Copies of this chain bind each other. A is one copy, B any other.
């Protein structure tokens, strides 16, 4: 049975204000929930149908479980079609990322606002083995339910930090070069691409902010192809698409 106070608490977590207050967030769906359970994150509570509990029993040691029917799930879900499982997790405490301890590719996101884009970027980073994403303070909250949903479990593995990007770049070690995605930069295909470095991607509407542009070491662009049939063409790519293509190109060697 779902108590009224539980329903109220879980629904409040759709808003950033209450996530910060309670230091809790919600994940839905089997992939998402199991990936967080496996990650060792602190589980506050789990709500699932009898059917789901039967199938996934072995993963559920020492967790507070509430069996619910789908009709009840609809009262706490953020999804149009509620899944058979929803869990509440504690937001992990996290320090700022220290670039001096990193020797790999790191993603840096400057004011990504669309939760679907951020979630998709986290999922993509996970696929390409990029385990650190540093976001500007105005980037959408990674525990927003739409971000969690679009990340499809990858948020349980990829570390996402929020901090001042200018200060972070000013303090970065020399061996990590900053590759900034811009509309008119060097053709990415023709550039040497190291195994470590910072890939900086700007916001959907404004690109990379002015104060960060001077901190870019190499401006890069995904080459556009113009077809005979399509004389004009797209002005830009979606931010998550651009990020994915750049990650792919850096990793493809």
Q: Contacts A230-B126, A233-B127: A223 and B252 contacting too (C-beta < 8 A)? A: yes
- The answer to whether B31 touches A235 (Cβ under 8 A) is yes
Convert A213-228 into 0s and 1s, putting 1 for each residue whose CB lies closer than 8 angstroms to a CB of B: 0000000001111110
- Chain A 86-129, CB-CB to B under 8 Å as 1, else 0, gives 00000000000000000010000000000010001001101111
**Copies of this subunit:** 2
Query: Contacts A234-B152, A238-B120, A252-B189 known; A127 to B224 CB distance under 8 Å?
Result: yes
Tell me if A225 and B131 are in contact (CB < 8 A).
no
**26 sampled A-B residue pairs with Cβ under 8 A:** A31-B235, A38-B232, A116-B116, A120-B241, A123-B237, A124-B238, A124-B241, A126-B230, A126-B234, A127-B222, A127-B224, A127-B234, A127-B237, A128-B225, A129-B226, A129-B230, A130-B227, A152-B234, A152-B236, A152-B238, A153-B235, A159-B229, A222-B248, A223-B252, A237-B244, A244-B244
> A154 on the interface (CB 8 Å rule)?
yes
On chain B, the residues within 8 Å of A236 by CB distance are 127, 152
A129 and B245 contacting across the interface, CB-CB below 8 Å: no
| Contact residues in B for A104 (Cβ distance below 8 Å) | 227, 229
In the complex, A24 has a CB within 8 A of chain B:
no
Query: Measured between alpha carbons, how far is A91 from B129 in the docked complex, in Å?
Result: 43
Size of chain A's interface in residues, with CB distance under 8 A? Answer: 46
A150 at the interface (CB under 8 A from B): yes
Per-residue 0/1 for A191-231: is the Cβ within 8 Å of any B Cβ (1 yes, 0 no)? 00000000000000000000000000000001111110110
Q: Is A157 on the interface with B (CB-CB < 8 A)?
A: yes
Query: Is A50 engaged at the interface, CB distance under 8 Å to the other chain?
Result: no
Give Cα A132 to B189, complex, Å. 25
Residues of B within 8 A of A157 (CB): 230, 232-233
